[in-house]
Amino acid sequence: MIDLHSHTNDSDGTLSPEQLVEEAVRIRLEALAITDHDTFAGYQRAAMRAANGGLELVCGIELSARHRGRSVHLLAYFLNWGPSKKFEDWVISLQASRRLRNEALIEKLCARQVPLTLEEVAAHGRGLIARPHFAAAMVEKGYVRLREEAFEKYLGESGMCFVPRDEPDLEDTIARVRSAKGLPVLAHPCRLKTQPDKLEAMLAEMCEAGLGGIEVYHSDHSSQQTELYNSLARRFGIARTGGSDFHGSAKPRVALGTGIGEALNVPYKILDDLRRAL
Ligand code: AMP
Ligand code: ZN
Ligand code: FE
Ligand code: FE
């Protein structure tokens, strides 16, 4: 079994990169990709520990991009040889847009009688600050009981304090990943909440732009969705990936490797095919 989608506390997961590697070794994963949001720091920290533990570690990153007015998550793999300075600088510029969003979000929350400081939020992460850290701080301060409630009421797209992030265009993001010699993959297509025919049209555009794969197996996918995404991968001749999207106790229902209710079991062959697709 492998897992090609996971987060450390270098983004919004709760395990350190070293702890994540240890957990992967403990459950005997054959390969693990770390795909933190907007940073390679977790992968880099985990690489040494993985080599010592005999775990095959795959370099990944998860980027948020904009396509026809909506936010789309893109996974990019195999940038471990040290992507170009240009790509790394661009990733750092994405972190800046996140900081601006975070400041605006603090202001909006304060205006809605949910006073929080950036320091209180930052205390729940290590460097990069994402919305789950806001949710954790809101639980700690007693504004909401559950993190999920923080998203529903305040932080989510329909929440009263939602602040959109300045996100790069999806076509541009795909092109940048390609020119840095990485493989761009559409993450959790179920989140697009799109009818099958619309999804097919969207995928056609994305493949035209250079998309190399689609995440077929994911904790949030039903077996029907997995079947649909498998057939779309075949139709467009792109690679298939799969992973749990593990975030540690930030998403307690999702287990590394096996996802929710042990429904996930991504075979090693998927990684072999992925390497060939590059
Ligand atoms: P950010 O990158 O800071 O916008 O935060 C995005 C992260 O928040 C995603 O990767 C999810 O892990 C989490 N997230 C987004 N929407 C929700 C939600 N409705 N409930 C729980 N977590 C969410
Ligand atoms: Zn996340
Ligand atoms: Fe995502
Ligand atoms: Fe993710």
pLDDT tens, residue by residue, 228-266: 999 999 999 999 999 999 999 999 999 999 999 999 999
Asked if residues 264 and 217 have their Cβ atoms less than 8 Å apart, the reply is yes
How remote is the CA of residue 131 from the centroid of ligand 1, in Å?
6
How remote is the CA of residue 174 from the centroid of ligand 4, in Å?
17
What is the pLDDT, as a whole number, of residue 80? 87
Starting from the CA of residue 99, give the closest ligand. 1
Per-residue pLDDT band for 172 (boundaries 50, 70, 90) equals very high
Which atom belonging to ligand 1 lies closest to the Cα atom of 130? 3
Phi then psi dihedrals of residue 56, to 5 deg: -80, 115
What is the pLDDT, as a whole number, of residue 264? 98
Per-residue pLDDT band for 85 (boundaries 50, 70, 90) equals confident
Q: The tokens 């096996």 sit on which residue?
A: 258
Q: Which of 19, 243, 31, 88 is nearest to 9 (CA)?
A: 19
pTM, to two decimals: 0.95
Starting from the CA of residue 73, give the closest ligand. 3
3-state helix, strand, coil split of the chain in percent (to 5) is 45, 15, 35
> For residue 88, what are the contacts with CB-CB under 8 A and spacing of at least 6?
40
d(CA 217, CA 244): 8
How remote is the CA of residue 111 from the centroid of ligand 2, in Å?
26
> What's the mean pLDDT in 16-29?
98
Q: Which amino acid is at 193?
A: K
Burial of residue 189 (number of CB atoms within 10 Å: 0-12, 13-18, 19+): buried
Supply the Cα-derived Rg of the chain in whole angstroms.
Answer: 18
pLDDT at 83 over 80: no
**DSSP H or E run through 230:** helix 223-236
d(CA 169, CA 266): 30
Residues with CB under 6 A from ligand 1: 12, 37, 64, 130-132, 148, 151, 156, 247
